[in-house]
Amino acid sequence: MKSKLVIASIFSVFTFVIFKQAVIAATYSDRIAAIVNSDVILESDVKKQKQPLIRSLMNLPLGIVPPGKWPTEREILDELIVIHVLEQEAAKRGITLDEKAVDASIESIKKRNNLSDEQFVLFLAANGMSYADYKQLMVRQFRLTKLIDSEVTRKTPISEEDAQKYFKKHQSEINDQYQKLLESMAPPQPPEQEAKPNIPTHEELFVGGKIKLRQITLKIPGVKKPKDIERVMETAKKIYREAQTGEDFGKLAKKYSQDPYAKSGGDLGYMDYKDMVPALQKMVQRMKVGDLTPPLKSADSMLMFYLDDAKNRKEKSVPIPEKTRKELEKRWKQEYEKRAEQKKSQAAQRKEPENVQTEGNNPQTGSQQDSSATKALGVLTPTEEKEYQKVRNKVITILRSELIQSRMKEWIDELKRNSIIEVKL
């Protein structure tokens, strides 16, 4: 009865989204793909990073996967190595973000697509993602974009002379270069066999018997400042990876857990399903002995559960409701068609960027800008000057993109040289 009360108090605060995240989170018997300083990249991380939805959301100028190309697993591993190096650099520099901004961004996405919480999680499930995975991806994007902006974008000035010299050298290629740049911004489309959603018809559940759980609890400070929450989440992520790579869960519970069960290695004892609240019951029915939940956020803590043992359970195949499967297929199809349409739209785009700023000059928009300052540079002939004004903003956009890519490569190479990277696969 004591265990029942403890579990009830923990899970009464779980929302539908948190429950779904636990249900669809996969557990792996993973090999280590690479080690980046103190971080471990698992084989499952590489496979997850290849999912079509994640690829469409990737928006970091890492320069590893060629534009428009569907990546190989080795390219994805190289990409993840760089991401871990950048995350470590962000941590060193104390770069943080307001988690409310991430939550607001997710809410905006749901609103634009007219999705309820339940529909949003179903859509993620159809694409092989949990809500926790999605939010973690958003946090990464926000944080690393902030880092790249401070270290690369702001350190890549462009002068008017630079732009004119580039035009003089590439005058006949500007429109084609700009078009290719637009096309490269569209997310690549996966091969047909990888594009189809993997929506099962049945799920396997365990019924009857008794189960023995262990738990780890990390308390979130009462004030709930973003820095404190992020610190707790990072600790939970570290513990999860240690457990995934073979560390004894009981020892981790004794070391990290902040609840009365820590001394016993998080041992909650043997329980019947009837002694559990429904959310926990549904979760453990999908777990095998040795399975581990990802970190789960409650109102005041981060939690992890490990299925330590089970007695007299029976496996049962249960059909997934047709209504649920159709909803998943519908959402997947809508998103896939939306991404395809975005690619077509960007490929057909022809308008120039507006009001591009260059160092030492304050241009007006488009061809209405004052060209008197540019003529005095002596780089272009009067005829070239007229042609340059027609495509000036395109030139600056192309040149800025090339300079940022070059600066990004130099910076990443420097960070990697100062890191200890061991590739296992």
Structural domains of the chain, ranges and CATH numbers in brackets: 32-200+402-423 (1.10.4030.10), 202-314 (3.10.50.40)
Spatial distance between the Cα atoms of 145 and 137, rounded to a whole number of angstroms: 12
Q: In the predicted model, what is the mean pLDDT of residues 272-291?
A: 84
- Supply the pLDDT for residue 63: 86
State the amino acid at position 359 in one-letter form: E
CB-CB contact of 266 with 216 (8 Å): yes
* Predicted confidence band of residue 329 (pLDDT cuts 50, 70, 90): confident
What pLDDT sits at residue 339?
Answer: 62
Per-residue confidence (pLDDT) for residue 83, from 0 to 100:
95
Which is higher by pLDDT, 244 or 347?
244
Contacts of 113-120 with C-beta under 8 Å, sequence gap 24+, read 117/15, 117/16, 117/17, 118/16, 119/327, 119/331, 120/17
61-75, 292-306, 352-366: least confidently modelled range: 352-366
| Mean pLDDT (whole number) for 269-275 | 88
pLDDT (0 to 100) of residue 192: 58
Q: Per-residue confidence at 77, pLDDT binned at 50, 70, 90?
A: very high
Name the band, by pLDDT with cuts 50, 70 and 90, for residue 5.
very low
**Each residue's pLDDT tens digit, 26-35:** 333 468 899 9
Predicted pLDDT at 11: 37
**398 vs 10: which has the higher pLDDT:** 398
Q: Mean pLDDT score of the chain, rounded to an integer?
A: 78
Q: How far apart are CA 231 and CA 331, in angstroms?
A: 34
pTM of this prediction exceeds 0.85: no
**In the 8-state DSSP scheme, what is residue 314?**
E
Q: Is residue 304 pLDDT above 80, yes or no? A: yes
pLDDT computed for residue 306 by the predictor: 93
Q: Which residue would you say has higher pLDDT here, 124 or 151?
A: 151
| Mean pLDDT (whole number) for 77-89 | 94
So what's the pLDDT on residue 78? 95
Average pLDDT over residues 186-205: 67
Neighbours of 247 (CB within 10 A): 13
**Which residues, in sequence order, are bridge partners of residue 202?**
319
Tell me the residue ranges of DSSP E strands in 312-412. 314-319
